[in-house]
Amino acid sequence: MSLPVDIQVLFTDTALLVVNKPAGLATLPDGYNPTLPHIKSVLEQQYGPLWIVHRLDKETSGVLVLARSAKAHRSLNTQFEKHLVSKVYHALVVGIPEWQEKTVSLPLRPNGDRQHRTVIDPQAGKPAVTHLKVLEGFGQYCFLEAIPETGRTHQIRAHLSALGLSILGDKLYGKRNNLHAGGKVHPPQQVQDPQFILTDRMGLHAWSLEITHPLSGERLKFTAPYPAGLMAVLQQLRSPTSGG
């Protein structure tokens, strides 16, 4: 039986199902249209009952772990709640920071404005810490590693926004002039600007996830290959002929 959506399975056993979630597929049911497919509804068709342990934004790709039993679900929930899970994200960002490494510690409050964005709120926000590191620079773009200590909604996106940076293709936290020049969308083959390649996703990818197996107690690390669209942008930016 084949899956109705192309989802790469990274690991599976009686307790875990680990996948490379594609961008454009939600982790949880849509609040406005519950009939839309989401990761749980798609995968349960082949793997049976599944429990959601954590989530990735709809436009974000990468490592996602689901539990295949109530016992595994309880164990994984505890690991996430006690910050015993190590998560690493890679992000293609508009802007070049003056620093090579930086730790951002700014309290966050979800649904903080009319656009339902997570905002910095020193009074009512919850503690949030993100460690950032520049991996590569490409003129007006850079490729960052982001390691969140906490798991707040839109944490990486909100912290980068607070630093004056935005993830390529982020329509919620990004600056409008970083998305489409002059408000127009050009076919990728007609322009060389990488912002026109990521038309249906953000340049944010959950690169790796490290957990303790709920049954064996073994420490496991899973890594998800970059999707084709992100790879195409990186290859273009790395090209000697690139204007980046």
From the list 114, 61, 113, the residue with the least C-alpha distance to 91 is 61
Q: Residue 221's CB: how many other CB atoms inside 10 A?
A: 11
Q: How far apart are CA 92 and CA 202, in angstroms?
A: 8
Q: Residue 131's CB: how many other CB atoms inside 10 A?
A: 15
- 51 in Cβ contact with 65 (< 8 Å): no
Residues 6 or more apart whose CB falls under 8 angstroms from that of 104 comprise 128, 129, 130, 131, 132, 159, 162, 163
* Whether 57 is catalytic: yes
**Token pair belonging to 178:** 């970083």
Choice among 6, 57, 121, 170 that is catalytic: 57
The secondary structure of residue 232, as a DSSP letter, is H
From the list 184, 195, 189, 179, the residue with the least C-alpha distance to 138 is 195
Residues 6 or more apart whose CB falls under 8 angstroms from that of 98 comprise none
- 232 in Cβ contact with 197 (< 8 Å): yes
**Token pair belonging to 184:** 């127009």
Q: Which of the residues are catalytic?
A: 57
